[in-house]
């Protein structure tokens, strides 16, 4: 729990007045972050630089099982990552920010002393990038979330007759950055996600997710009705399919599972330069994907901050794949320095942060008729590269996948493993994409609640390869 420093406290040259009423939300957190930056500025010498990143959240979690609340509570958490730089060397520490200035100040001083002792023992980094520039930003994205006392009624009002399992999480998240040259960025967003499964008496399940920044009861009920329909169809006797090639529809949640593979030996310029990216044949002009496929980084939706761990601001929109051709890669400052390029504000890991696959022309209502006979895949899991240089992926179907005949759902299928190349199913075998997208959030809560989201349409594919 945050507490607020003594109102008479001063740090270095700062004399910010502090309200001593206790932690009151984002405003007090920002004051604590600014105080930390001011204090670090008094500690550094002229030869030293630093960067400071803040990750914080106030979240409500509710865990449901058999349509009952099994666990509920609220979390208030903030942590800092301090990177100290001197003589072409750097090291970092991560530690909590409590808001108790006496405690925080002592911890910061200890970290700085430890870093100063550690850095001389490290080798020089010829590609080390020090903070530079004078960019600032303040981005606030308020939502309309359920009040904590409204959550149970809001969720349970439509599930009293269901075996419902899931986790609801909601609240604000903050990402912030400051450094020794004066750059400063603040990002706050409010969002929720309800990640759930419905079970029938046979133990079969369908998976659903409802997420966003505005809770709409009507949208939630519609989302739930679609899951109910799949659950009724899931109760039919399952069909075992032989391995082979089948016309397949990948629903948006399935496509969203594929997108992280683009950040693993994919869109990174460093991976391309070092020969570890499956996009290398595209860079060399030997291969391309379907002209129907367009992938962009879109920070305009406001779900994640545009600034990275060096305070660099990415373009609001950056085209990665344009009509199946590689137009841009993600280039960090380190990669730019090593290869004599221009950075485009990517993180040091050069991963996608705001990915969006643009929609196509197939109406969602026409998907079953367009599929005609084949497999409807609601979800995928266990994805891995089976041959990364050739863009070959493997994974398994999961939750409510169906055999379709004559445009009608006939039966649920037993789990299948696929193994196919992106150059095939995102290439010549891509029939088309749906004309709408879905927001698929990353619902992980390791360390903290994730704020990542992916915007994806569904995909209709010819001759998708299943191996077992």
CA torsion through residues 271, 273, 277, 279, sign = positive
Residue 301 per-residue DSSP state? G
**Which tokens hold the place of 332?**
């960090």
CA-based nearest residue to 456, from 315, 226, 263, 257:
257
What integer pLDDT is reported at residue 24 of this predicted model? 55
Residues of the chain whose pLDDT is less than 70? 1-24
Q: What is the Cα–Cα distance from 338 to 344, expressed in whole angstroms? A: 14
Domains of the chain (ranges; CATH) run 26-194 (3.30.2290.10), 236-297+358-466 (no CATH)
Q: Is 178 exposed, middle or buried (0-12, 13-18, 19+ CB in 10 A)?
A: buried
The pLDDT assigned to 1 comes to: 38
Give which of 251, 188, 279 is closest to 436, Cα–Cα: 251
pLDDT tens digits, one per residue of 14-59 = 334 333 333 557 889 999 999 999 999 999 999 999 999 999 999 9
Neighbour count for residue 53 (Cβ, 10 Å): 23
Beta bridge partners of 340: none
Q: What is the pLDDT of residue 23?
A: 52
Query: What is d(CA 287, CA 279) in angstroms, rounded to the nearest whole number?
Result: 9
Q: Using one digit for the tens of pLDDT, what is the confidence trace for 375-386?
A: 999 999 999 999
**DSSP label at 122?**
S
């Amino acid at each position: 729990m945050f507490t607020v420093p003594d109102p008479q406290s001063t740090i270095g040259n700062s004399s910010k007045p502090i309200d001593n009423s206790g932690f009151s939300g984002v405003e007090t957190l920002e004051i604590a972050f600014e105080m930390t930056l001011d204090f670090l500025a008094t500690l550094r010498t002229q030869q030293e630089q630093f960067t400071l990143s803040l990750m914080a959240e106030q979240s409500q979690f509710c865990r449901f099982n058999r349509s009952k609340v099994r666990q509920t509570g609220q979390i208030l958490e903030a942590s800092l990552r301090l990177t100290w730089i001197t003589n072409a060397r750097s090291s970092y520490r991560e530690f909590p920010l409590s808001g108790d200035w006496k405690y925080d100040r002592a911890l910061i001083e200890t970290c700085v002393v430890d870093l100063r002792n550690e850095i001389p023992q490290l080798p020089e980094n010829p590609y080390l990038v020090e903070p530079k520039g004078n960019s600032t930003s303040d981005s606030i994205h308020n939502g309309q979330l359920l009040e904590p006392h409204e959550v149970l009624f809001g969720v349970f009002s439509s599930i009293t007759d269901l075996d419902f399992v899931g986790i609801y999480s909601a609240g604000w998240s903050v990402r912030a950055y400051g450094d020794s040259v004066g750059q400063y960025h603040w990002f706050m967003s409010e969002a929720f996600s309800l990640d759930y499964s419905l079970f029938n008496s046979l133990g079969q399940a369908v998976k659903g997710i409802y997420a966003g920044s505005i809770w709409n009861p009507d949208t939630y009920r519609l989302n739930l009705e679609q899951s109910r329909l799949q659950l009724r169809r899931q109760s039919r006797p399952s069909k075992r399919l032989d391995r082979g090639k089948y016309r397949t529809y990948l629903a948006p949640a399935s496509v969203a599972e594929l997108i992280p593979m683009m950040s693993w030996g994919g869109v990174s310029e460093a991976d391309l330069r070092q020969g570890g990216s499956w996009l290398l044949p595209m860079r060399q002009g030997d291969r391309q994907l379907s002209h129907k496929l367009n992938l962009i980084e879109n920070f305009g939706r406001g779900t994640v901050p545009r600034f990275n761990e060096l305070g660099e601001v990415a373009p609001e929109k950056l085209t990665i794949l344009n009509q199946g051709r590689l137009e841009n890669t993600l280039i960090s400052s380190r990669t730019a320095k090593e290869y004599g390029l221009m950075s485009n504000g990517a993180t040091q890991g050069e991963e996608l942060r705001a990915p969006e696959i643009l929609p196509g022309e197939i109406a969602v209502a026409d998907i079953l008729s367009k599929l005609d006979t084949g497999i409807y895949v609601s979800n995928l899991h266990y994805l891995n590269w089976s041959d990364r240089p050739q863009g070959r992926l493997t994974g398994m179907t999961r939750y409510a996948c169906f055999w379709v005949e004559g445009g009608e759902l006939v039966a649920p299928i037993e789990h299948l493993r696929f193994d196919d190349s992106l150059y095939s199913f995102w290439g010549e075998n891509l029939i088309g994409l749906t004309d709408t997208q879905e927001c698929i959030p990353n619902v992980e809560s390791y360390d903290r609640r994730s704020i990542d989201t992916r915007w994806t349409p569904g995909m209709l594919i010819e001759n998708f390869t299943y191996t077992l």
